[in-house]
Every structure is written in C-alpha cells, then in structure tokens.
Amino acid sequence: MSTSQSLDIRSRKPENLGVWTNPKHELHLQSGPVPTLNEGQCLVHVRATGICGSDVHFWKKGHIGDMVVTGENGLGHESSGVVIDVGPGVTKYKPGDRVALECGIPCMKATCYYCRIGRYNACPDVVFFSTPPHHGTLTRYHVHPEEWLHPLPDELSFEEGSLLEPLSVALAGIDRSELRLGDPIVICGAGPIGLVTLLAAHAAGATPIVITDLDESRLQFAKKLIPRVRTVKVDTKLGSKEVADEVRKTLGTEAKLVFECTGVESSVQTGIYSCRFGGMVFIIGCGKDFQTMPFSYMSAREIDIRFQYRYHDTYPKAIALVSAGLIDLKPLVTHRFTLEEGEKAFAAASDPSAKAVKVQILDD
C-alpha cells in the first residue's frame, strides 16, 4: 500500500465507527472523530479484529473480577491494521506499514518494579485497551504507541495478525508451564484459547494430547487442526472424577500437564483428577471469583496449580512461529463480518448454535 493510498482512507471513510457496550449491557455501534496524534503515536486503520470471550463477558456480565464497565466502553483488543499517519518523534513506522497491535501498554517507568524486571503484564498502571475504563481497538481508527506495534510480515494476513493476541495467551501458558518434548498433556476446553493452546503445545512437542469439550463439533474441529489429538466429550451427568477416568483412559496415562482453558469449576476439578503425582494444572481460563478444589487430593499428590495473567514478550515469537509455518492460525476464523455488521458479529460469537470458533470483524 502506497502512502497516498493509506492516507486516502480518511477521506473515503471519515466516520470513526466502533462497537461499544455500557452498564445496561447494551451493544451498539458508535461513531466519533478520528483521534489526534501525540508524541510517539501512530494512527492505525484497524483492518481486522477478533472477538474475544472477554469482550462478550464485558457486554453480557458487565465485569471480569474487579474490572467493571461503568460507562460507555469500546470493545476489542485482538487487532491488526495499517499505519496511516504518525505523530512527532515516530521513527520506526511510516504510513502504509502493516502492523499487529499489542494492547497492554505498561507505564515502563524506572520506578515500576514489574516493568523494570520485564514482567510488564503485572504493571499496576497498565492501559489494556478494551478493559474498562480504556476503550478498545474495535474501531476504524485507533491511536497506538509506536513501541507497542509489531511489524506484520507480508506473508501474514490481517486476520492472522489479529490472531497473534490469543496465540500470545497460549504461548505465555506454554512458557510458564515449562512444557517439554514428549510431555503427556490434557487441554480442557476446545474454545478459541483451547484450540490455540493445542496448536502451540503440538508445535512444542507435547505427546500424547487429549482435548475435552461439551460440544462434539468443537472436538471434531480440533481433530481437523491436529489429526493425532485424542478427544473426550464431557458428559455433564458424570462427576469430575468419572470424567477424569475417561480422560486418563483416552490419554493412556496420567497427565504431566493440564491446560485448563474454560475456568469452569467442574472442568478445573476434572483437570486435577487427571493429573499425575507431581504434575501441574495450568489454569488459563477465567471463571467464578471463588471455586472449590479437591484440596486434600492435590496435597497428597503434590499437584501444582499455576495461573497466568495475560502475557509479555510473546508477539515477536508468535510472529516468527506463524511466519515459519510451525503454527497455522488461518483455520480458526470461521465467521467474518464488516465493521458495520458489528452487532451481528457479537450475536454469532455469543450464540452456541452459530458454531463459531473465532469471529472476526474486518474493515477494508
């Protein structure tokens, strides 16, 4: 894309349309002015944005933990696009450059312990776009700090660029869990995060792998992604121990690692009962604020529970893995809508009967 073509978008599409929610749990399109640029910022025409489960949760429930929707709030944080203008001091990008957006912007002050040691995802002053009160990137034009844009190689589409965000979640889990070649693992949940975790764990050499879900179509989708994965359809009439019996039988052993990607209490319990002595249950999914776990069972078997909070330093690795063909994200996008169809897109993403895996909103 030439500079003249990239700058022309504002004259062709002057309306800065976005998808918003509010404390009344309303979902609506909202227009606003094209944002102005400050020092070190780039104006991005957002070309692709995936709908995350957290976006739906903020719309439907109004909060995730202590993060509460208190006013009009723009959604979206899985985005890629094209730089169409740059502010003073920007040296890395120019109009026409294709970029992926990392949407957690830490303070990066020398006085911030977490930023100083590189664990910037724990920065107490982080601005995470789409998390109240910060508006999201599901909008036509978005201003983003130069330092938190990542060059998108020519071989990656905008759709793949937006999928780097959920892949980052999975890669953070793979790193923090210390998965090793040949580890037998279980993935609880075949939603978008469970599926990208499957792709990442397969690329990291885990074997054998079992993935569980309530929905047989999701399990079949997982088989298409990784044919050798083993599947267990969860019977909700059974208790967690009984489901775990089936999981261990299908895996052929007890799991060294369980990646829990649902946050559902019964699923967390199943993961614990599926785990070997000295193993680990790594919880990626967020669920109820308080949950019951089989404490004595875990204690007697030295089962570790570990969590993650977002990610850090994952985008370059994600881009390299996808560019090299080690992880194929393209099949994950099952539904596509225009920005003007944003409400329909969220309806599909929140309706189980739509059989959506990843819904993306595109703007040409």
Same domain, 242 and 148: no
% of the chain residues with pLDDT over 70: 98
Which tens digit of pLDDT belongs to each residue from 153-183? 999 999 999 999 999 999 999 999 999 999 9
Q: Is residue 323 part of a domain?
A: no
Residue 110 maps to a domain: yes
In a domain, 317, yes or no: no
Shared-domain flag, residues 104 and 207: no
What digits encode the pLDDT tens for the residues 308-348? 999 999 999 999 999 999 999 999 999 999 999 999 999 99
172 and 242 co-located in one domain: yes
Q: Are residues 202 and 240 in the same domain?
A: yes
- Over residues 193-205, the mean pLDDT reads 98
Question: Is residue 162, in this structure, part of any structural domain at all?
Answer: no
> Closest Cα to residue 46, out of 80, 11, 97?
80
Contact 137, 130 (CB under 8 A): yes
Would you say residue 225 has pLDDT above 80?
A: yes
**For residue 144, pLDDT beyond 50:** yes
Domain CATH code at residue 183: 3.40.50.720
The reported pTM is 0.94
Q: Which domain holds residue 39?
A: 3-152+329-362
Among candidate residues 192, 232, 193, 191, the one with its CA nearest the CA of residue 209: 232
Domains held by the chain: number: 2
Q: Do 148 and 172 belong to one domain?
A: no
Does residue 181 lie in a domain region? Answer: yes
